[in-house]
Amino acid sequence: MHRTHYAAEVSAQEIGKTVAVAGWVDRRRDHGGLIFIDLRDRSGVIQLRVDPSAGPVFSAADRLRPESVIAVEGVVRARPPGMENPELITGAIEIEPMRLAVLSEAKTPPFLPHEEAERVDELVRLRYRYLDLRRPKMLAHFALRNRVVFAFRRYLHEHGFLEVETPALARSTPEGARDFLVPSRLQPGHFYALPQSPQLFKQLLMVAGFDRYYQVAKVFRDEDLRADRQPEFTQVDIEMSFVDQEDVLREMEALVHAVFRESLGVDLEPFPRLTWDEAQRRYGSDKPDLRAGPPLLDLTAAAHRDHWPVLGAAEHVAAVVLPGVNPSRRQWDGLLERARALGAPGLIWLWRGEDLRTNARALGAGFVEALAAAAGIARGDGLLVVGGPRAETCAVAGQLRLEAADAFGLRQSGWKFLWVTDFPLFEWSDEEGRWVSAHHPFTMPHPEDLDRLETDPARVRSLAYDVVLNGVELASGSMRIFQPELQARVFRVLGLSPEAVTAQFGFLLEAFQYGAPPHGGIAFGLDRLVMLMAGAKSLREVIAFPKTARGTDPLTEAPSRVDPRQLRELSLTVVEPS
RNA sequence: GGAGGUGUGGUGUAGUCGGCCUAACACGCAUGCCUGUCACGCAUGAGAUCGCGGGUUCGAAUCCCGUCACCUCCGCCA
């Protein structure tokens, strides 16, 4: 019996013909004298109809269990009038099996791979991942993922990018996330690190003159997990030579447009651009969600000019406009509490209805009117106002904007992309007591800020940029330093001694001395992109065999202890935690 | 490292301010019946000592302490 059709491919055209299908028993409906079997394969389901005249086929069908694997050869029949199922692609036909072979009998599974399995405890789903992946929805996630990767590859291939693999066993570098280490047997006491990104290798490929590179690269970061963070994940890593930032942004935006068109059939709008500074001021975030209502208002000037009570003394005054809402007293109180939890000492709310409602009555009716006027709110609009130090105030207002948008259903649907540019080059690390790279140490400083590199690191911008989609950081990149002297200056600001630099990055700096082109690039978080495209809430829904929040795999029970012999070969001893 | 949530037959849940719980319901499972179903239907039945350990109590799924697992968030993630 050799399969001739996928289940959902059998159509009315085959009526009267003999076909062979194979797959899993999705459901069995036994009417005693008549048995219906839904046979499921990757394409969908088709109904088999077995009646007692079928002899051995009937007795086999009688004993069939859900999720057993069967192969069937039979004649395609039109269903009797009135018996069609419009819900099914194959709902107008059925197969009358002449032969039925049970290829593999299934135990009763812990859950059946129907869509209700969505509600099964996730631990059980992960423990039996192969059953969970049988669900059409999960399959659809991976079909989408495949289309997305294929679209990336097609575009990049067609635009002259070369896919090159870089090592998974690489050198540990101290900057950035915690490394996963791999002990070396041949070099006792030495370790490889799994790459956090192919960053250094792709820059070396630019020095090599490969000009345009990409890689669908698995990368690793040993940090705590989140719904949108797994210890191993996939980047579409890209680098280009002889380009400026504008070239990169234009090419990468075209790439994303192509990926959406090809894999979802969606034509995207051009991406708006915001500088990091604007993003902070208007959204209180470096990854604004443009769907969550209007941007923040900056009322600082009005507050200072008119000497508003309380707010007049604040460094920054930010307001969230809530268009067309009617919050209850309880909801206002909830927002007040959230503001306090986020670190804002106070929050003024007001709402324009018949008259002006507010919690700031005590500050004077005139002030309240002035506030409403300054914000320009219309009837039915609400307003949240916070004041204080600039960065904190923007952050709190930005967070309130998101939470209020969800509370009042203001968050729209759609694909709201944007570029965030001009990230700061450095951030002060209290923990380390020094400046650290905001992106990575090879990021090109903004040319206009070069003269204050040493004198005012906080105000040095960089040629670094992110792609943000619906409030999620989707891609991050930068133009790179390719002059050894400039790189040395940046390392100095970072407090890295020449010796440390030579030890850790000497090979890169040396490479730059042999002729390095100007270059820059970006890396897309593939898993996150697919998650958003699939409308999923967790990366685990778009990774075939993901890890739990504690970094384990309930299916294979990784990580595991290893045989002492293995440890000895690696010159390792385990010190048990006390 | 911290905070919160969850944990009851195979699965999902109810019960959780102690006794009526000899733990209920749905799905699944088993057996039987059923020739047009497609979440088939009907009947009968099996199956959990309530994550684990300890404590309080005459009595604990229920209260207390500890612990484990999973989920979410903060820290962390160049």
Rounded to whole angstroms, the distance from the CA of residue A123 to the C1' of nucleotide B59 is: 35
Which nucleotide lies nearest residue A96, CA to C1'?
B36
Rounded to whole angstroms, the distance from the CA of residue A126 to the C1' of nucleotide B21 is: 33
Rounded to whole angstroms, the distance from the CA of residue A6 to the C1' of nucleotide B12 is: 32
The owner of tokens 């100007």 is A518
Which nucleotide lies nearest residue A79, CA to C1'?
B36
DSSP A553: B
Q: By mean pLDDT, which of A69-78, A163-172, A339-348, A352-361 is the weakest?
A: A339-348
Neighbours of A364 (CB within 10 A): 12
Residue A473 counted as domain residue: no
Please tell me which residue, A291 or A576, carries the higher pLDDT value. Answer: A291
One domain for residues A492 and A395: no
Over residues A142-151, mean pLDDT: 98
Rounded to whole angstroms, the distance from the CA of residue A54 to the C1' of nucleotide B33 is: 21
Over residues A195-210, mean pLDDT: 97
**C-beta separation of A27 from A66 below 8 A:** yes
One domain for residues A407 and A452: no
Helix/strand/coil percent split, chain A, to 5 = 35, 25, 40
Q: Is the pLDDT of residue A91 over 90?
A: yes
One domain for residues A96 and A23: yes
Residue A444 counted as domain residue: yes
Q: Is the pLDDT of residue A406 over 90?
A: no
Which nucleotide lies nearest residue A175, CA to C1'?
B78
Which nucleotide lies nearest residue A429, CA to C1'?
B78
Rounded to whole angstroms, the distance from the CA of residue A43 to the C1' of nucleotide B71 is: 32
Which nucleotide lies nearest residue A123, CA to C1'?
B70
Rounded to whole angstroms, the distance from the CA of residue A551 to the C1' of nucleotide B18 is: 39
One domain for residues A407 and A431: no
Residue A41 counted as domain residue: yes
Q: Phi/psi of residue A306, each to 5°?
A: -95, 10
Q: Is the pLDDT of residue A428 over 90?
A: no
C-alpha span between A524 and A307 (Å, rounded): 47
One domain for residues A358 and A439: no
Respond yes or no on whether the N-terminal peptide bond of residue A270 is cis (omega within 30° of 0). Answer: no
One domain for residues A438 and A489: yes
Residue whose CA is minimally distant from B70 C1': A123
Residue whose CA is minimally distant from B6 C1': A121
Q: Is the pLDDT of residue A483 over 80?
A: yes
Residue A63 counted as domain residue: yes
Cβ-based neighbours of A99, under 8 Å, separated by 6 or more: A1, A57, A72, A73, A74
pLDDT category, A239, cuts 50, 70, 90? Answer: very high
Which nucleotide lies nearest residue A77, CA to C1'?
B36
Which nucleotide lies nearest residue A476, CA to C1'?
B78
Over residues A97-123, mean pLDDT: 93
One domain for residues A451 and A501: yes
What's the confidence (pLDDT) of residue A532?
96
Residue whose CA is minimally distant from B7 C1': A121
- Domain boundary residue among A59, A75, A104? A104
Rounded to whole angstroms, the distance from the CA of residue A89 to the C1' of nucleotide B26 is: 30
One domain for residues A450 and A375: no
CATH of the domain at A308: 3.30.1360.30
Which nucleotide lies nearest residue A93, CA to C1'?
B38
One domain for residues A392 and A324: yes
Over residues A517-521, mean pLDDT: 97
Cβ-based neighbours of A530, under 8 Å, separated by 6 or more: A141, A144, A145, A148, A542
Q: What is the pLDDT of residues A272-294, one digit of tens each?
A: 999 999 999 999 999 999 999 99
- Domain boundary residue among A74, A104, A134? A104
Neighbours of A177 (CB within 10 A): 13
Check: pTM over 0.90? Answer yes or no: yes
Residue A17 counted as domain residue: yes
Over residues A465-489, mean pLDDT: 95
Residue whose CA is minimally distant from B11 C1': A111
Residue whose CA is minimally distant from B28 C1': A111
Q: Write down the ipTM of this complex.
A: 0.94
C-alpha span between A569 and A562 (Å, rounded): 12
Which nucleotide lies nearest residue A548, CA to C1'?
B70
Q: Which nucleotides of B are covered by protein (CB under 7 A)?
A: 1, 10-13, 28-30, 33-41, 69-78
One domain for residues A399 and A439: no
Residue A36 counted as domain residue: yes
Q: Which domain holds residue A40?
A: 7-104
- Domain boundary residue among A104, A119, A139? A104
Over residues A302-326, mean pLDDT: 92
What's the confidence (pLDDT) of residue A329?
83
Rounded to whole angstroms, the distance from the CA of residue A223 to the C1' of nucleotide B54 is: 35
What's the confidence (pLDDT) of residue A247?
98
Rounded to whole angstroms, the distance from the CA of residue A123 to the C1' of nucleotide B26 is: 22
pLDDT category, A331, cuts 50, 70, 90? Answer: confident
Which nucleotide lies nearest residue A199, CA to C1'?
B78
Rounded to whole angstroms, the distance from the CA of residue A121 to the C1' of nucleotide B16 is: 21
C-alpha span between A500 and A507 (Å, rounded): 12
Rounded to whole angstroms, the distance from the CA of residue A529 to the C1' of nucleotide B39 is: 34
One domain for residues A431 and A392: no
Q: Which amino acid is residue A57, in one-letter code? A: V
> For residue A196, which of A163, A169, A231, A221 has the smallest C-alpha distance?
A221
Q: Which amino acid is residue A352, in one-letter code? A: R
C-alpha span between A475 and A454 (Å, rounded): 29
**C-beta separation of A322 from A293 below 8 A:** yes
Residue A266 counted as domain residue: no
Over residues A438-452, mean pLDDT: 94
**C-beta separation of A347 from A332 below 8 A:** no
Q: Is the pLDDT of residue A451 over 70?
A: yes
What's the confidence (pLDDT) of residue A115?
84
C-alpha span between A192 and A559 (Å, rounded): 18
Residue whose CA is minimally distant from B29 C1': A108
Residue A179 counted as domain residue: no
Rounded to whole angstroms, the distance from the CA of residue A553 to the C1' of nucleotide B23 is: 34
Q: Which parts of A376-492 are beta strand (E)?
A: 382-388, 417-421, 426-429, 434-437, 464-469, 472-479
Sort residue A140 into left (φ over 0), alpha (ψ -120 to 50) or beta.
Answer: alpha
CATH of the domain at A16: 2.40.50.140
Whole-Å CA distances, A131 to A17, A112, A556: 33, 8, 14
pLDDT category, A180, cuts 50, 70, 90? Answer: very high
Residues paired with A525 in a beta bridge: A235
DSSP A186: S
What's the confidence (pLDDT) of residue A578?
62
How many domains is chain A built from?
A: 3
Q: What percent of chain A has pLDDT over 70?
A: 100
One domain for residues A402 and A429: no
- A202-241 in b/e form (b: 16+ CB < 10 A) is bbbbbbeeebbbbbbbebbbeeebeebebbbbbbbbbbbb
Q: What is the pLDDT of residues A13-34, one digit of tens each?
A: 999 999 999 999 999 999 999 9
What's the confidence (pLDDT) of residue A176?
85
**C-beta separation of A374 from A304 below 8 A:** no
Over residues A237-260, mean pLDDT: 98
Over residues A208-225, mean pLDDT: 97
